[in-house]
């Protein structure tokens, strides 16, 4: 059975996609936080303020996760660049395994973020 060769160029391309997605999420989080600020000035109900604080905490948490993912991409990109300088175009097994694990992290985070947005939009619909 022939082994599949995974080239650095392909991993770099996927990293670029992930970076763009993470930067987009960060921009969205800024917009969502602005919405929270608007709502804080409109509502004084303790129940609503507790929900606002919940979303603010969720946005802070997600922003931190996004930063961590961006840093992990940079570490992997540095490794790829090092291999390119050494004239190696295919990654070793350990690095491919880490890349696949990272892909799973991105997919998980994508679902978590989509769920958060859905709940936040429902919240906005009820309180705007």
- The domain total for the chain is 1
Block residue for tokens 């004239």: 87
Q: How many helices (H) and strands (E) does the chain have?
A: 3, 0
What pTM was computed for the model? 0.86
Tens digit of each residue's pLDDT (9 = 90 or more) over 12-57? 899 999 999 999 999 999 999 999 999 999 998 999 999 999 999 9
In a domain, 94, yes or no: yes
Q: Residue 74 belongs to what domain range?
A: 8-22+46-127
In a domain, 30, yes or no: no
In a domain, 33, yes or no: no
In a domain, 101, yes or no: yes
In a domain, 100, yes or no: yes
In a domain, 35, yes or no: no
Tens digit of each residue's pLDDT (9 = 90 or more) over 63-103? 999 999 999 999 989 888 877 676 665 556 777 888 899 99
In a domain, 120, yes or no: yes
- Rounded Cα gap, residues 81 and 25, in angstroms: 26
In a domain, 96, yes or no: yes
5 band by pLDDT with thresholds 50, 70 and 90: low
DSSP type of residue 4: P
- Rounded Cα gap, residues 2 and 10, in angstroms: 19
């Amino acid at each position: 059975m022939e082994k599949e060769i995974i080239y650095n160029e392909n991993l770099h391309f996927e990293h670029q996609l992930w970076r763009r997605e993470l930067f987009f999420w960060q921009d969205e989080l800024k917009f969502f936080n602005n919405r929270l600020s608007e709502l804080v000035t409109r509502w004084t109900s303790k129940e609503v303020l507790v929900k606002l604080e919940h979303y603010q905490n969720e946005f802070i948490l997600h922003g931190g996760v996004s930063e961590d993912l961006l840093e992990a991409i940079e570490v992997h990109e540095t490794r790829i660049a090092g291999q390119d300088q050494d004239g190696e175009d295919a990654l070793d097994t350990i690095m491919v395994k880490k890349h696949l694990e990272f892909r799973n992290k991105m997919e998980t985070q994508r679902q978590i973020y989509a769920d958060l947005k859905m709940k936040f939009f429902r919240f906005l619909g009820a309180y705007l």
